[in-house]
Structures are given as structure tokens and as C-alpha cells.
Amino acid sequence: MLTVNVAVLLAVIVVLRLRRRTESRSRRDERMTVVIVLALGVLLAPTPVGEGITDVLGQVAGSVTQASR
């Protein structure tokens, strides 16, 4: 039996959708991409990978804030 991680599948879908040309997207298509990205974020957030991403983004945001002072 083949098991596919839903988060990995959504990440692949997001990459494929974002590679398309911007001019050819409809509003409905853009909304669907946003919904898929949000679902991916919800799936990744409680995992160690999601927590690592949050830590890195927090450090980057902190360093940008300190640099602008």
C-alpha cells in the first residue's frame, strides 16, 4: 500500500500552480491557490518542520526590525 503525506502532496500542487503564468490566472484560480496554501500552512504548523520555519521567520523579522532602528 502506498501512503502519501498530504502536506507533501499539497506542497507539490502549490509549486505546480505557482509555476504557471500570472496572466493566464482567473480570480477563481487565484483564490483556489490561496486556499491550498492556507491548508498547507495548517498542516505544517504543528509539525517540527513548521515550528522550525516559524523560528527562522521570527529571527529574520527580529533582525529586520533591529536593523531599521
**Residue 40, number of CB atoms within 10 A of its CB:** 19
Q: How confident is the model at residue 4 (pLDDT cuts 50, 70, 90)?
A: low
- Specify the amino acid at residue 19: R
- Tell me the domain boundaries of the chain: 6-67
Q: Is 25 left (phi over 0), alpha (psi -120 to 50) or beta?
A: beta
Amino acid 65 reads T
Chain segment 30-51, per-residue pLDDT in tens: 888 888 888 888 887 888 888 8
Interval 5-16: pLDDT, tens: 887 888 888 888
pLDDT at 54: 82
